[in-house]
Amino acid sequence: ATNRKYYHSVDLQAKLRARVLDRPLYFFYLASFGSANRSATVIPRDDDTYVFVQYHEFDLYYELTPGFILAGYFGIENAQGGRFTVLSEETGEPRDQQGTGIGLGFDWMIAPTVGLYVRHRWMHFEDRSFSIDTYRGRELTVELKIFI
């Protein structure tokens, strides 16, 4: 290493509970900001940053019936490389990554100690500077949890 690296991180979280059609609706927000820099500063600067990453996640949960909850998800992630990182041979620019995801699912309490959790998420990722780093996909997760 030619110099020390300094890491900065800030996480924010918000929760809100409301009632819609006399049923509970929960809204969760999570934000994360992080950077790696050449110097220790309170606010990172573009000319001093190796990488800056931010992530935002929004979750909604609506209790349709007692024991059955609909779930929704939306997320955005952005990573920006600085001038001290690898540059694209094609564009001459540092990393410029953008990812998004959207998902739906449900939580079903089959019994007081048994739950079925199903999520289906669609995602897209691209790096505007490195064209080969692009993909689209989806994932399905099914979890059966038994609490003892």
Structure tokens given for 83: 């001038």
In the chain, the percentage of residues whose pLDDT exceeds 70 is: 98
Residue 86 has pLDDT above 90, yes or no: no
DSSP state of 56: E
Give dist(CA 47, CA 83) in Å, integer.
Answer: 7
Give dist(CA 38, CA 111) in Å, integer.
Answer: 54
Degrees, nearest 5: CA angle 62-63-64 = 100
Structure tokens given for 113: 């100690």
What's the rounded mean pLDDT across residues 75-100?
87
pTM recorded for the entire structure: 0.82
Structure tokens given for 70: 């609909």
Instruction: Enumerate helices (H) and strands (E) in the chain, giving the number of each.
Output: 0, 7
Single-letter code of the amino acid located at 126? E
Residue 102 has pLDDT above 90, yes or no: yes
Q: How far is CA 102 from CA 37, 50, 68, 82, 137, in A?
A: 31, 29, 20, 28, 11
pLDDT for residue 39:
80
Single-letter code of the amino acid located at 24? P
Mean per-residue pLDDT of the chain: 91
**Nearest Cα to Cα of residue 81 among 65, 92, 90:** 92
**Nearest Cα to Cα of residue 36 among 101, 94, 93:** 94
| Least confident span in 12-26, 41-55, 56-70, 130-144 | 41-55
pLDDT for residue 76:
97
Residue 119 or residue 80, greater confidence: 119
Residue 1 has pLDDT above 70, yes or no: no
Residue 48 has pLDDT above 80, yes or no: no
3-class secondary structure, 48: helix
What's the rounded mean pLDDT across residues 107-128?
95
